[in-house]
A and B are shown apart, each in its own frame.
Chain A
Amino acid sequence: MRWLRRNAVVIAGLLTLAYLILPNVIVLVFSFNKPNGRFNYEWQRFSTDAWTDPCGVADLCGSLGLSLQIALWATIGATVLGTLIAFALARYRFRARSSVNTLIFLPMAMPEVVMAASLATLFLNMGIQFGFWTILIAHIMFCLSFVVTAVKARVMSMDPRLEQAAQDLYASPTQTFLKVTLPIAAPGIAAGALLSFALSFDDFIITNFNAGSTVTFPMFVWGSAQRGTPVQINVIGTAMFLIAVLCVLAGQLFTGRRKRS
């Protein structure tokens, strides 16, 4: 009893962790299911069919490819635009500064439906055809703020004396930027880019309003929830999870080794 009381926080925390991971376990387990009928909600029997043929469902891999493509371009766009803004905000004092800060903050504090519906209204009235480009525009728009926040936090916490030291050693402004500032800001830029990629790849609400008849991966999943969910969805979900974990582990190994050397 005393042990229980002393470790109450740990137990509660681990229970929450279990709550967070439970659906992923279900997704993993049901990727080996052989469902009876169109829906994959009940366990029938073990099968590796879906793993050997992940593209066996019409349009699934097409939508996956499209999502990856959009996420890639959205990441590049949002990271470039966001990094420029972050440097301006972290390095310069200018008059419009607080209004710019507000404009950056608002998209993160706005319910997605509101942004999605208003952007779609604009496209609709300008007579712009919904599709790849409208999705990309929307994704860059909502990823931008997250990049700015990530990069700005990093640049702000940087010691200004490092740049002064570089200049004292006769580095030109360009050299200082490339050899000192950019490497220090890099983790922030990488975090912003990674976040943009994840947000864009997984976005449903904003895409739902601005995609027209174009089907991204989340939209495919949404549609399949109504029409019948193929097991391949669970395969893709599990693969995404595994790739993410592997990337994190690789990153840890990499930084760990660098710290040691």
Chain B
Amino acid sequence: MSAATQAPPEPAPALEVRKPPVRKRLVPYWLLLPGILWLLVFFAAPLVYQASTSLQTGSLEEGFKVTWHVATYWDALGEYWPQFVRSVLFAAVATLLCLVLGYPLAYLIAFKAGRWRNVVMILVIAPFFTSFLIRTLAWKTILADSGPVVSVLNSLHILDVTSAIGLTEGTRVLATPLAVVCGLTYNFLPFMILPLYTCLERIDPRLHEAAGDLYAKPVTTFRKVTFPLSMPGVVAGTLLTFIPAAGDYINAELLGSTDQKMIGNVIQSQFLRVLDYPTAAALSFILMAAILAMVTLYIRKSGTEDLV
């Protein structure tokens, strides 16, 4: 996705070319004006405003005033750090699962599907069109206590293992961390598959043949050729799944219990129910900063800085 935002190299300026008249040079600015104004007023300004709200104190009756009350941040962190940790943890596990589950499917579409490619592609995208809330609710049926999934997991004694490490509780899956992670993985899986697919599709199949000619086993070919070449897709996919998953509160609300609240749930209830705007603002700022920091670090580490 972000690879497309890269500018092509600027053409070398030819000396004899005269500068276009001023009227012509203003054209791009006129094209930009309405859209950029929209983003400045309804995206950038609210963020700045949010920053000032996080430094306010007061109540709904008396009104809020900016008092530079930085302590809101410490109080919010002190009270809600478990939800922060949980959000990052759940999102990270879901992202990893998305990568593990999504890679074979992206690979299948790119190299193995042949004339079925379009059909598989439609099957990946079409479920999107059923409202994701309805699909998430369907997981309540799938993971129901008396449902087949739970009884199979139970008879294979998998739930004993997951309960032992705290992923599930007893013989239940619903209202446990496992259910939330399952929902997160499911909801953000297409965001992993699509960038992976676009990246894999661009790989020249002759490279695979060349690796085979040099006596590389399929696994070695994958490890040394395919996977490294798909890195931009892996990075884009992990970002596209991790960022929304960390801020999500729908899966935790519908599939989890009060013990699995993520930071999104806290922001939502602080803003819409408790009406404590400064705390909600401070929490969303911490979330934004944390994600920005992690994303920057991740992009540095994965060595694809030209991506963003």
Tell me if chain B binds chain A: yes
Beyond A13-B104, A41-B140, A111-B284, 4 additional pairs, beta carbon < 8 A: A42-B141, A42-B144, A217-B131, A236-B134
Check A237 against B287 for contact (C-beta < 8 Å): no
For A152, give its contact among B4, B122, B267 (CB under 8 Å).
B4
- Complex CA gap A101/B8 in Å reads 13
| Contact (A202, B102) CB under 8 Å given A107-B39, A121-B50, A149-B1 | no
B224 within 8 A of A: no
- Complex CA gap A108/B308 in Å reads 12
Check B39 against A103 for contact (C-beta < 8 Å): yes
Check B127 against A106 for contact (C-beta < 8 Å): no
Check B35 against A84 for contact (C-beta < 8 Å): yes
A19 within 8 A of B: yes
Interface residues of A in 1-38 (CB under 8 A from B): 9-10, 12-14, 16-17, 19-24, 26-27, 30
Check B127 against A24 for contact (C-beta < 8 Å): yes
- Complex CA gap A140/B247 in Å reads 21
Check A144 against B39 for contact (C-beta < 8 Å): yes
Which residues of the partner chain B approach A111 to less than 8 Å between Cβ atoms? 243-244, 246-248, 264, 284, 287-288, 291
Which residues of the partner chain A approach B136 to less than 8 Å between Cβ atoms? 23
Check A144 against B281 for contact (C-beta < 8 Å): no
- Complex CA gap A26/B308 in Å reads 39
For A113, give its contact among B102, B112, B247, B295 (CB under 8 Å).
B247
| Contact (A144, B38) CB under 8 Å given A9-B104, A105-B308, A221-B133 | yes
Q: Which residue of A lies closest to B98 (CB)?
A: A16
A73 within 8 A of B: no
Give the bracket for the number of chain B residues in contact with chain A: 35 or more
Q: Which residue of A lies closest to B149 (CB)?
A: A22
Give the bracket for the number of chain A residues in contact with chain B: 35 or more
Which residues of the partner chain B approach A113 to less than 8 Å between Cβ atoms? 247, 249, 264, 267-268, 284, 287
Query: Would you call the interface of chain B mostly helix, strand, loop, or mixed?
Result: helix
A-B residue pairs in contact (CB < 8 Å), sample of 22: A10-B104, A13-B104, A20-B123, A81-B35, A81-B38, A88-B29, A94-B28, A104-B39, A109-B243, A111-B244, A111-B291, A112-B247, A114-B47, A114-B285, A122-B50, A140-B42, A141-B39, A198-B129, A202-B132, A221-B131, A225-B254, A244-B128
Interface residues of A in 124-183 (CB under 8 A from B): 124-125, 137-138, 140-141, 144-145, 148-149, 152-153, 156
- Complex CA gap A211/B31 in Å reads 30
Which residues of the partner chain A approach B167 to less than 8 Å between Cβ atoms? none
- Complex CA gap A248/B40 in Å reads 35
B96 within 8 A of A: no
Q: Nearest Cβ in chain B — how far from A155, in angstroms?
A: 10
For A106, give its contact among B43, B102, B246 (CB under 8 Å).
B43
- List chain A positions with a Cβ less than 8 A from chain B: 9-10, 12-14, 16-17, 19-24, 26-27, 30, 41-42, 81-82, 84-85, 87-88, 91-94, 96-98, 100-101, 103-115, 117-122, 124-125, 137-138, 140-141, 144-145, 148-149, 152-153, 156, 198, 201-202, 204-205, 208-209, 217-218, 221-222, 225, 229, 233-234, 236-238, 240-241, 243-245, 248, 252
Check A222 against B133 for contact (C-beta < 8 Å): yes
Which residues of the partner chain A approach B308 to less than 8 Å between Cβ atoms? 105, 109
| Contact (A237, B130) CB under 8 Å given A22-B142, A81-B38, A119-B46 | yes
Q: Which residue of A lies closest to B122 (CB)?
A: A248
Check A110 against B135 for contact (C-beta < 8 Å): no
B234 within 8 A of A: no
B293 within 8 A of A: no
- List chain B positions with a Cβ less than 8 A from chain A: 1-2, 4-5, 7-8, 10, 25, 27-29, 31-32, 34-36, 38-40, 42-47, 49-50, 53, 101-102, 104-105, 107-109, 112, 118, 120, 122-142, 144, 146, 186, 189-190, 239, 243-244, 246-250, 254, 264, 267-268, 271-272, 277, 280-281, 284-285, 287-288, 291, 295, 308
Which residues of the partner chain A approach B5 to less than 8 Å between Cβ atoms? 101, 104-105, 149, 152
Which residues of the partner chain B approach A104 to less than 8 Å between Cβ atoms? 5, 39
- Complex CA gap A108/B114 in Å reads 32
Which residues of the partner chain B approach A109 to less than 8 Å between Cβ atoms? 239, 243, 295, 308
Check A225 against B247 for contact (C-beta < 8 Å): no
- Complex CA gap A105/B31 in Å reads 18
| Contact (A233, B108) CB under 8 Å given A113-B249, A241-B129 | no
Check B130 against A240 for contact (C-beta < 8 Å): yes
Q: Which 8 A-B pairs have the closest CB atoms?
A: A111-B247, A13-B108, A244-B129, A81-B35, A12-B104, A92-B28, A118-B50, A88-B31
Which residues of the partner chain A approach B8 to less than 8 Å between Cβ atoms? 156
Check B34 against A204 for contact (C-beta < 8 Å): no
For A241, give its contact among B108, B124, B127, B287 (CB under 8 Å).
B127
Check A218 against B53 for contact (C-beta < 8 Å): no
| Contact (A229, B250) CB under 8 Å given A111-B244, A117-B280, A149-B1 | no
